Amino acid sequence: MINVTKTFLPPQEEYNEHLKKIWESHWVTNQGPLCEELELLLKNYLGVKNLLLVSNGTIALQIAIKALDLKGEIITTPFSYAATVNSVIWENCTPVFCDIEDKTYCIDASKIENLITEKTSAILPVHVYGFPCDVNRIGKIAAANNLKVIYDGAHAFGVKINHNSVFNYGDISTISFHATKLFHTIEGGAVITDDDKLAEKLFLYRAFGHMDDDYYSIGINARTSEFHAAMGLCNLPRISGFIDERKKINLLYKKYLKDLPLAYPEIPDDIFYNYSYFPVFFRSENEMLSVKEKLKKNEIYARRYFFPSLNKLPFIKGESCPVSEFNASRVLCLPLFNGMDEQLITVITDIITAGLNK
């Protein structure tokens, strides 16, 4: 069986070396030395000022919204995983959906201003598939309207715009370190900001609002464990190799699919991309579903990332977003993970080719 992704696990003996330190210290959680080490290494690798590890990417969004004291409406994208909009609703804010553009499939910055009202407090775009949003335009819109910006960068680990980390934009960026991601800690995530005071606030929110016996604010338990940090310490040195390998897989897919009527997101010239997904856009939903079923019969499980368009979720009354709705209906993410060989890629692409040339 071939899933859309396959979690990389380091050699067991390498992970065990970190576990020995945990057994020696008996420090398993509450911001132990492995968490401290990983935070420092991640800040250096990503080129960011303040980074705090949290237990997952969804809680990262929730404490970001809370730390910025957001109320009322938050403009966001309908083309993402449900965690994005669920975090908005969970924090008692109202999502307002802005349609997407059809090159990177990120939020269409040209449509944001028309959605701003007196109730709008923030913009929450997503770097979809790791492709950066139009951060410069979004930044100008936010500044002109006194709005906060949170970037959901769950897919954007290592991505750069003109050699600058994508996480250096906005008031806060969040990221997921879930097991399905390019860089993972099994479960986990982080909040990132260049604002030192905001980082202090996030630090307290992450750990019940207190340090030792001194209480400063409200807070929850958003901390990760030493066991999760140990996995991150094993995986981080391999990231450059992971990206190089995924780029080769990406190019092989496009080589074997080049004569088919398929569309792909455009990689902007000014970015360093991480090749976190391989989304394919078919001409129609029926065509996509037919191919998906043929792959499934061969025990190859591609996924509809992202479906449905979030404005169509049954518990949301969302505005019409025709570009998102159309693309959500016809997209299929093909298997992409480190360790894939060319033979497997040809098997997958042969099935797609036969399905489209029936």
Q: What is the pLDDT along the chain (358 residues), one digit of tens a residue?
A: 999 999 999 999 999 999 999 999 999 999 999 999 999 999 999 999 999 999 999 999 999 999 999 999 999 999 999 999 999 999 999 999 999 999 899 999 999 999 999 999 999 999 999 999 999 999 999 999 999 999 999 999 999 999 999 999 999 999 999 999 999 999 999 999 999 999 999 999 999 999 889 999 999 999 999 999 999 999 999 999 999 999 999 999 999 999 999 999 989 899 999 999 999 999 999 999 999 999 999 999 999 999 999 999 999 988 899 999 999 999 999 999 999 999 999 999 999 999 998 6
**Number of helices and strands in the chain (H, E):** 11, 14
| Location of structure tokens 């980082």 | 199
From CA 289, how far away is CA 235, in angstroms rounded? 35
What pTM was computed for the model?
0.97
CATH number for the segment(s) 12-237 = 3.40.640.10
Tokens in use for 144? 């002109």
For β-strands 210-211 and 73-76, DSSP reports them as unpaired
Instruction: Kindly give, in sequence order, each residue whose CB lies less than 8 Å from that of residue 296, ignoring residues fewer than 6 positions away.
Output: none
List alpha helices for 77-216, DSSP H: 82-90, 135-144, 196-206
For CATH 3.90.1150.10, list the domain ranges present in the chain: 238-356
From CA 42, how far away is CA 335, in angstroms rounded? 27
Q: Which of 99, 55, 350 is nearest to 232 (CA)?
A: 55
For CATH 3.40.640.10, list the domain ranges present in the chain: 12-237
From CA 300, how far away is CA 304, in angstroms rounded? 13
Class (C level, CATH) for 238-356: alpha beta
For the chain, give the number of residues: 358
- The conformational region for residue 275 under phi > 0 = left, psi -120 to 50 = alpha, else beta, is left
Beta bridge partners, 160, equal 165, 272
Buried b / exposed e over 85-121, threshold 16 CB at 10 Å, is bbbbeebebebbbbbbbeebbbbbbeebeeebeeebb
